[in-house]
Chains A and B, each alone.
Chain A
Amino acid sequence: MTMLRNVSEGVTHDDVCSIHVGNERFAVRLTDVFEVTASVELRACPLSPPHIAGLMQYRGEVLTTVCLRTLLGMQRGPGPASSVVMIGSRGLFALLVDEIGEVLPVAISSYEPVPATVETRCQELLSGTYKLEHGLLPVLDAKRLEPSALRSQHAPAHSREANIKQ
Chain B
Amino acid sequence: MLLDHSPDIPNMEDLTREFLLESHEGLDRMERCLAELAEAPANPELLREIFRAVHTIKGTTGFLGFQRLERVAHAGENLLAGLRDGDLVVNAACIDVLLLLLDTLRSILRGIEQTGAEPEGADAPLLAQLEALQSLEEASQKNGASGNAAAFVKEGRYDGAAAMATTAGIVPAAIPKSKENSGGHTGIEEGEAPASVVDATVRVDVDVLQRLMNLAGELVLTRNQIVAAATEDQRIGMLAQRLDRVTGDMRDAIMRVRMQPVEQVFARFPRLVRELARQCGKQVRLEMEGQQTRLDRSVLELMRDPLLHAIRNSIDHGIEAPEMRTANGKPAEGNLRLRAASAGDHVILEIIDDGGGIFPERLRQRAVERGLISSEQAAALSDSEACNLVFVPGFSTASQVTNVSGRGIGLDVVRKNVEHAGGSVEMHSVPGQGTTIRMRLPLTLAILPALVVCCAGQRFALPQTAVVELHCLRAAEQMASIEVLGAARFYRLRNRLLPLATLRGLLRLSSDDNPSQGPQQASMQGEWNLVVLSAEGRRFGLCVDAFEGTEELVAKPLERVTEVPVFSGAAQLADGDLALILDVSALADLAGVAVDRTAVASETDTAVSLGENFLHVSLGDTSAAIPIACVEHVLSVRKAEIQSMDGTLVLPMDDEMLPLLDGAQLSHNRDADAFPAASIFSGVSRAEALHVLVCSQTERRMGLMVSAVHGMVQAEPAKLQNLSYPEESAQSILRLGEQLVRVIDPLTWQLPATYSETWTVFDNYLQNHWNSQQQSVGEITG
Chain A residues with CB under 8 Å of chain B are 30-31, 33-36, 43-49, 52, 55, 57, 59-62, 64, 90-91, 93, 103, 147-148, 151
Contacts and interface: CB of A to CB of B under 8 A. Distances in A.
A43 B561 CA distance: 14
Contacts of A151: 560-561
A47 B3 contact: no
29 contacts: A34-B2, A35-B2, A35-B3, A36-B1, A43-B458, A44-B458, A45-B562, A45-B567, A46-B458, A46-B507, A46-B509, A47-B507, A47-B508, A48-B562, A57-B578, A60-B214, A60-B217, A60-B218, A60-B556, A61-B214, A62-B557, A62-B569, A62-B570, A64-B559, A64-B561, A147-B559, A147-B561, A148-B559, A151-B560
B50 interface: no
Contacts of A148: 559-560
B559 A57 contact: no
Given A30-B3, A62-B570, A43 B578 contact: yes
Most buried by B among A36, A59, A90: A59
A7 B183 CA distance: 66
A33 B572 contact: no
Nearest to A57: B578
A49 B578 contact: no
Given A30-B3, A59-B214, A47 B562 contact: yes
Given A47-B508, A151-B561, 12 more contacts: A33-B3, A34-B2, A36-B1, A45-B562, A46-B458, A46-B507, A47-B564, A60-B214, A61-B214, A62-B557, A64-B561, A147-B559
B205 interface: no
A33 B1 contact: yes
A57 B560 CA distance: 16
Interface string B543-584: 000000000000011111111101101111000111010000
B238 interface: no
Contacts of B560: 148, 151
B3 A52 contact: no
Interface of B: 1-3, 213-218, 221, 458, 507-509, 556-564, 566-567, 569-572, 576-578, 580
Contact of A47 (B559, B566, B571): B566
A144 to B, nearest CB: 15
A46 B558 CA distance: 13
Nearest to A49: B561
Nearest to B460: A46
A162 B218 CA distance: 46
Contacts of B577: 43
Contacts, number: 77
A62 B2 contact: no
A109 B576 CA distance: 47
A147 B562 CA distance: 11
A99 to B, nearest CB: 15
A61 B40 CA distance: 50
A38 B46 CA distance: 60
Contacts of A103: 1
A62 B282 CA distance: 53
Contacts of B458: 43-44, 46
A96 to B, nearest CB: 14
A55 B218 contact: no
Contacts of A34: 2-3
Nearest to A100: B1
Nearest to B215: A60
A45 B3 contact: no
Given A30-B3, A36-B1, A46-B508, A62 B566 contact: no
Contacts of A61: 214, 556
The 3 closest A-B pairs by CB, nearest first: A60-B214, A46-B507, A60-B218
A47 B563 contact: yes
B590 to A, nearest CB: 9
Given A33-B3, A47-B507, A62 B556 contact: yes
A57 B572 contact: yes
A82 to B, nearest CB: 12
B511 to A, nearest CB: 12
Contacts of B571: 62
B439 to A, nearest CB: 31
A55 B2 CA distance: 21
Contact of A45 (B1, B2, B561, B576): B561
Q: Which of A30, A55, A90, A91 has the most CB of B within 10 A?
A: A55
Nearest to B458: A44
B447 to A, nearest CB: 15
Nearest to B566: A47
B558 A62 contact: yes
Contacts of B567: 45
A45 B580 contact: yes
B453 to A, nearest CB: 13
A64 B562 CA distance: 12
Contacts of A47: 507-508, 562-564, 566
A61 B557 CA distance: 8
A62 B569 CA distance: 9
Nearest to A63: B559
Contacts of A33: 1, 3
A147 B578 CA distance: 19
A91 B559 CA distance: 9
A151 B578 CA distance: 23
A90 B559 contact: yes
Given A30-B3, A93-B559, A55 B570 contact: yes
Contacts of A64: 558-559, 561
A44 B577 CA distance: 12
Contacts of B556: 60-62
In this complex, the member of B215, B216, B221, B556 whose beta carbon has the largest number of chain A beta carbons within 10 angstroms is B556
Contacts of B570: 43, 55, 62
A48 B508 CA distance: 10
Contacts of B569: 62
Q: Which of B458, B559, B567, B571 gathers most chain A CB within 10 Å?
A: B559
A148 B559 CA distance: 7
A64 B558 CA distance: 7
Nearest to A45: B561
A39 to B, nearest CB: 15
B561 A48 contact: yes
Contacts of A147: 559, 561
Nearest to B509: A46
A103 B1 CA distance: 10
Nearest to A60: B214
Contacts of B215: 59-60
A163 B344 CA distance: 58
A151 B561 CA distance: 7
A54 B2 CA distance: 23
Nearest to A37: B1
B566 A55 contact: no
Contacts of B214: 59-61
B513 to A, nearest CB: 12
A151 B563 CA distance: 9
Contacts of A43: 458, 570, 577-578, 580
Contacts of B563: 47
Given A34-B3, A43-B578, A45-B567, A55 B508 contact: no
A142 to B, nearest CB: 13
Interface centre among A57, A59, A103 (most CB of B within 10 A): A57
A124 B3 CA distance: 27
A115 B322 CA distance: 80
A45 B577 CA distance: 14
Nearest to B459: A43
